[in-house]
Copies of this chain bind each other. A is one copy, B any other.
C-alpha cells in the first residue's frame, strides 16, 4: 500500500454540498435533467438493439424531453423558449451522463439546426421553424461537412446560385466530393436542413452561406432533386441517423437564405454589413461555438460516469493482501491503482470548474447588448478560443479516462452491462467532431500569437504566419521574454533548492504553467519569423512548427484550467470542502507538471531534485485523496439508475 502522508484527511466529506458547488449557477437545471435521466424511460439501451429500433427510440426520447420543456431553454420566449442560452448548454451537458445518442440527436436538432436558424436567420425564419423545432415535430439537419471537406469549411463546394428570373436559389452538388456527409438526422428523420453552400449571385461567388432546404415531405418521402444515403453502422452513437445528401439543382425561394449577416435582393443584389468576405465567414462560423461548449461539457460528464464506476469498484474489489491479514487489500489501496484513477479524478474536477467559467462567459457574450462592436467582437474571439481549448482537453480527457477506468475494472469492465462499452464507443468521436482537437488547438495558438487581434478572423495559417512575422518580436513576446529572464536568473542562483518553495503553493504552480506557456509562445513566434526571414513560404513555415504550435495551445489551456480551479478553491466558503478541493487542485496541477517535467527540466525551469519532489508529492496526494475517493465521485451527483452498472450500484 502507498504510504500515507502525515496530513490529516478530512473526516467526513459532505458529498451533497460538494455537488451543489460543482453544479454552480445552473444547479436546478442540472438536477432536473439528472432526475429525468433516472426515469425508467431513459434506462440504458439493451446492448443488442437493432440500429433501426435504436434510432426510433432516440427520436421518441428526444420528443419526451421536449414534452418536459427541456429543449426550448435557449430559444427566444417569442417562439416558445426561455431565453436562457447558458441554461440550455447546462441541460445539454448534463445529458452527457445518459445515452449519448440521445445527447447528440438533441445537439443536432436544437443546437445545430435550431442554432443555425436562430443565429444565422432572422425573425421570419424564427417564426417559421423554431416552434416545431423545439417540440421535435420538425427534425432538422445541419448540412455543412462535405466528403471532401471536413475541417476546411471555407473550401466547401456545394453551390447556391441565385436565379433572379424566378427569385430562387438553385442548390447543387457538383460532384461526389461535395456531397454533404455524416449529417445527423439525415438518414431517417430529417425533414429540413440548413445547407452551407458557396453563394453565387450574378456570376460572383460571395463565400459560404447557409440556406434552409426542405429534404422530405411530411410522410418522410425524399423531395425531388434530393438524394440521401445512409452512412450505416458507426463505432458508436448508432441511435443517431447520419446520412449523405446530394442536391441536384434544387430550387428554394430567395427567403430561404438565412439572412442575418448577408442578403440578396429580389433583383439579385448581394449586400452585407460585414464587407470583408473572410470576416463574414468567420462571424457566421462563430455560431458554432455553442456546439463546442456543449461537446466539451458532455465529454466531461461521460468521464464522470466512468470514474464513478471505477472508483466504486476499486473500493469494493479485493485482490492479494498482506500475509496473515484478515482480508485481501482493496484495489484502491494499491498505489498503481490510485495513480491511474485519482489524477484523472482531479482533472475531472478541474475541467468542471473551467467549463463553468466557460458557460458563464458564453451566456454573457451571447446576451451582451451593451458593448460596442469592437469589444463584442473581441469578446467573441476570446470565447471561441476558450471554448476550442476546453473542448479539446475535455474530450481527450474523456477518451483517456474512460479507457483507463475500463482497464481498472479488468474483465468486469469489459462486460456491456458495466457501461464502458457504450461510454467508450459513443464518446470516441468527440475528439474529432465539432472541430478536430488538433485543428482546434491550432486555432487557439493563432489567437495567442496574434493576441486576439481584429485581424484574427481573417487569418488562415499562412496569414497568421505573415502577421506574426510582420510584428517586432517584442510586441508579441514582450511579457514572455521578461518572464523568461526572471526565471533564468532565479534558477541559476546556486542553492536555490536549499530553500525551495512549497510545491503545493498555488501561485508557484500557476507560475510554472504560465512560464511554460509564454516561453513556448515566444519561441514559436521567433521560429515563424525566422522561417519567413529565411524565405520559406508561410505554409511551409507553419508546417515546420506545427507540433510546437499545438504544444503552445496545450500549455495555455492547461494554465487556464488551473486558474479556473484555483478561483473555485478560493471562492469556496465551506472550510471542509475547501481543504479537499485544494488537494484536488494540487493533484491536478502537480500531475500535469509531472507529466511534462521533461519540458521543465529541458528549459532549466526546474531542478532534478524539485522534479523528483513533485513525483513524491503526487504519490502523497493520491494517498490522501484515496480516503475521500468515494464521496468525491458521489459528489458528481449521478443517480444510480443513470450509472446503471452492476459493479458500481
Contact = CB atoms under 8 A, between A and B. Distances in A.
A338 to B, nearest CB: 9
Given A462-B323, A602-B597, A233 B48 contact: yes
A459 to B, nearest CB: 13
A453 interface: no
Interface in A144-177: 145, 149-152, 155
Given A1-B540, A417-B232, A598 B611 contact: yes
Interface in A600-629: 601-604, 608, 611-612, 619
Contact of A432 (B231, B411, B547): B411
Contacts of A421: 233-236, 425
A550 interface: yes
A233 B543 contact: no
A50 interface: yes
Contact of A543 (B334, B399, B425, B433): B334
Interface residues of A, number: 81
A406 interface: yes
Contacts of A325: 539
B602 A611 contact: yes
A436 B601 CA distance: 33
A321 B235 contact: no
Q: Main SS of chain A's interface residues?
A: helix
Contact of A322 (B150, B425, B537): B537
A51 interface: yes
Nearest to A411: B182
A183 to B, nearest CB: 11
A172 B424 CA distance: 38
Interface string A344-357: 00000000000000
Best-buried of A150, A322, A329, A460 by chain B (most CB within 10 Å): A322
A150 B411 contact: yes
Best-buried of A333, A414, A539 by chain B (most CB within 10 Å): A414
Contacts of A236: 414, 421
A403 interface: yes
A153 to B, nearest CB: 11
A428 interface: yes
Interface string A294-332: 000000000000000000000000011111010011000
Given A232-B415, A234-B416, A411-B432, 6 more contacts: A1-B543, A152-B328, A320-B460, A325-B539, A601-B602, A604-B608
Interface of A: 1-3, 47-48, 50-51, 145, 149-152, 155, 181-182, 231-236, 319-323, 325, 328-329, 333-336, 339, 399, 403, 406-407, 410-411, 413-417, 420-421, 424-425, 428-429, 431-433, 436-438, 460-462, 537-540, 543-544, 546-547, 550, 594, 596-598, 601-604, 608, 611-612, 619
10 contacts: A47-B232, A151-B319, A335-B544, A335-B546, A335-B547, A399-B403, A410-B432, A601-B601, A602-B608, A604-B608
